[in-house]
Amino acid sequence: MSKVNLTQKLASFDAYWTPKIVASYNCNDIMVVKVKGEFNWHSHAETDDLFLVLKGTIDIHMRDQIVTLSEGELYVIPAGIEHRPVAKQEAHLLLIEPANTPNTGDQATAAKKEMI
C-alpha cells in the first residue's frame, strides 16, 4: 500500500456522512468522514465503533450521556450501544469498523463505502 495522508484524503470529497475507506487493517475498514448536522440513532450489535476527531468537535449522544470530542480525542462506543453523532459545525473524523459494517446500523439505509 501507499501511505495515507488524512488531510489530502479529506480534501478529495465534500459529502457529509459518507465514510471513505483509506486503508484496511485485519479486515477492518479505516475510514475518514466529514460530518455536519445530526445523524440517526443507531447501534451495531456485533462491533465496537471507534471515533477519532481529526478536526472540529462532535457530540456523541447516547441514551444516558453525551460525550463531546474535540481534535485529538477518541472514543469507542461499545457494541450494542445506541448512539447518534451530532456536529454543530463541520468536523472530520477517523473511523474504524469491521469491513461491511453499515454506518447506519442497517444495510438497507447505509451509505455505500468506497475506497479513495
Residues at the interface with a second copy (CB under 8 A): 1, 3-7, 22-26, 28, 30, 47-48, 50, 52, 54, 67-69, 72-76, 78-79, 94, 96, 98
Distance from C-alpha of 97 to C-alpha of 68, rounded to nearest angstrom:
20
- Residue 62 in grid coordinates: 447516547
- Residue 33 in grid coordinates: 468522514
Q: Least CB distance from residue 6 to a second copy, whole Å?
A: 5
Q: Least CB distance from residue 67 to a second copy, whole Å?
A: 5
Q: Least CB distance from residue 3 to a second copy, whole Å?
A: 5
Q: Which is nearer to a second copy, 73 or 106 (CB)?
A: 73
| CB-based contacts of 20, cutoff 8 Å, min separation 6 | 9, 13, 31, 32, 33, 113, 114, 115, 116
Q: Which is nearer to a second copy, 25 or 108 (CB)?
A: 25
Q: Left if phi > 0, otherwise alpha if psi is -120 to 50, otherwise beta: which for 46?
A: alpha
- Residue 71 in grid coordinates: 481534535
Q: Which is nearer to a second copy, 70 or 108 (CB)?
A: 70
Q: Least CB distance from residue 84 to a second copy, whole Å?
A: 16
